[in-house]
Amino acid sequence: MAAAGILFYPLTALLLSLLLLSIFLVPSSAFPIPPAGNQWQIFQNLSGCLPGDHNPLLPNLKSYFQRFGYLPSNISNFSDLFDDGLTSALLSYQSNLGLNSTGFLDQSTLSLLTQPRCGVADVIHNSTSAAATTRGRHLYSYFPGRPSWSPEKRVLTYALTDTSAVSIDVPTLRPVFSRAFARWSAATTLNFTEVPSNSDGEIDITIGFYSGDHGDGQPFDGKLGTLAHAFSPTDGRFHLDAAEDWVAVGDVASAGSDDAVDLESVAVHEIGHLLGLAHSSVSEAVMYPALRPKTRKVELVRDDVDGIQQLYGGNPSYRDAAPTGTSSRETGGAGSAAPLPEEKTAPLVVAAALGLALWLI
């Protein structure tokens, strides 16, 4: 019995130390911590919610789907029931955004629901008056009626008309938007020219930063959530949420804020809307609606190029776009691969020390 007692404590200590090590060896990326400002993170609490269930968060989810075109706009009082209407909206959402169409709130769907995104609707429920998909055999899409700028108008003017709501000065903003427009110009027959905001001539595209309700019927919602929105041709309005932690210079992946948003990435996307493209189902495409914080996605892929060239024709000197499915188009920084998660060594040291102490007792 004495021998058994002598062996018991070291074995217990060894098992305890191994247990602690196994916990701390799990990569931190396995349990991603969402940005603090993400208002849609509550949807993660719907994990396991099934059709027929009641959940107090389901009205929030239904409002989300209504906002982005998956439920009728005339409903104002949503129930907490996972009903057939929600299942239908969920299936449409999964199909439109390139997910497996399960009709369930699986982890990949919940993860995408929590990501910041463009404020332009993906579809319009039983309507042809705003953004809706017309895909055919491609994954890009257009607005209803396929609006575009006139064939006689191949030089479009743009101006930064309202920047007072952000701390970034105009000389810093100007090259960001210039590069964003140049990416579309390179692939098409279009050209873009910046003009002063007080220009006497016609300004085709106006760009501004705004907060909350700013008079266009599409109020911003604060940090993350919807990042920006733009209107189809030939409206020309392009609005960005002033509440975001915009990064206009440097590597967004190295930004101090976990909520940092790459300005050029959002600008390239919204310019696509200004030119007539709606959202794409291709997650690598610039026209995909979601963009994670601290990521950069500015290069057009084949789906983007095919869509825009169907509207305006191609630039003969344009180099071929990256093929659809090239995952490196979305990166953790300016043209770099997403950084590996930082290894956490301190917890390992603590676990090892604790195990050794228990062994020696």
pLDDT at residue 356 in the model: 41
CATH of the domain at 109: 1.10.101
Classified as helix, coil or strand, 39 is helix
165 with 288, same domain: the answer is yes
194 with 306, same domain: the answer is yes
The two beta strands, 237-241 and 205-210, are parallel
Strand segments, DSSP code E, in the chain are 155-162, 191-194, 205-210, 228-230, 237-241, 245-247, 260-262
21 with 169, same domain: the answer is no
Whether the CA torsion 198, 204, 208, 212 is positive or negative: it is positive
pLDDT at residue 39 in the model: 84
Say if 212 falls within a structural domain. Answer: yes
Burial of residue 270 (number of CB atoms within 10 Å: 0-12, 13-18, 19+):
buried
Say if 347 falls within a structural domain. Answer: yes
Q: Are 221 and 64 in contact (CB under 8 A)?
A: no
* Residue type present at position 45: N
Of the three residues 81, 113, 145, the one that is the final residue of a domain is: 113
Based on the residue annotation, tell me whether 270 is a catalytic residue of this protein: yes
The model's pTM: 0.80
Of the three residues 113, 140, 172, the one that is the final residue of a domain is: 113
15 with 72, same domain: the answer is no
Tokens of 271: 């310019």
Residue 191 has pLDDT above 70, yes or no: yes
Q: Are 58 and 80 in contact (CB under 8 A)?
A: yes
213 with 318, same domain: the answer is yes
Q: Tokens 């895909």 identify what position?
A: 135
Of the three residues 79, 113, 147, the one that is the final residue of a domain is: 113
Domain count, the chain: 3
Q: Are 147 and 137 in contact (CB under 8 A)?
A: no
* pLDDT tens by residue, 45-62: 999 999 999 999 999 999
263 with 353, same domain: the answer is no
Domain with 297 in it: 155-329
Say if 123 falls within a structural domain. Answer: no
Length of the chain: 361
* pLDDT tens by residue, 59-102: 999 999 999 999 999 998 999 999 999 999 999 999 999 999 99
Give the residue ranges of the annotated binding site for Ca(2+): 204, 221-222, 241, 244
Catalytic one of 194, 202, 264, 270: 270
Say if 143 falls within a structural domain. Answer: no
Alpha-helical (H) ranges within 25-99 are: 58-67, 84-96
Give the residue ranges of the annotated binding site for Zn(2+): 118, 214, 216, 229, 239, 269, 273, 279, 287
Rounded Cα gap, residues 356 and 13, in angstroms:
8
Residue 222 has pLDDT above 50, yes or no: yes
* pLDDT tens by residue, 240-252: 999 999 999 999 9
5 with 106, same domain: the answer is no
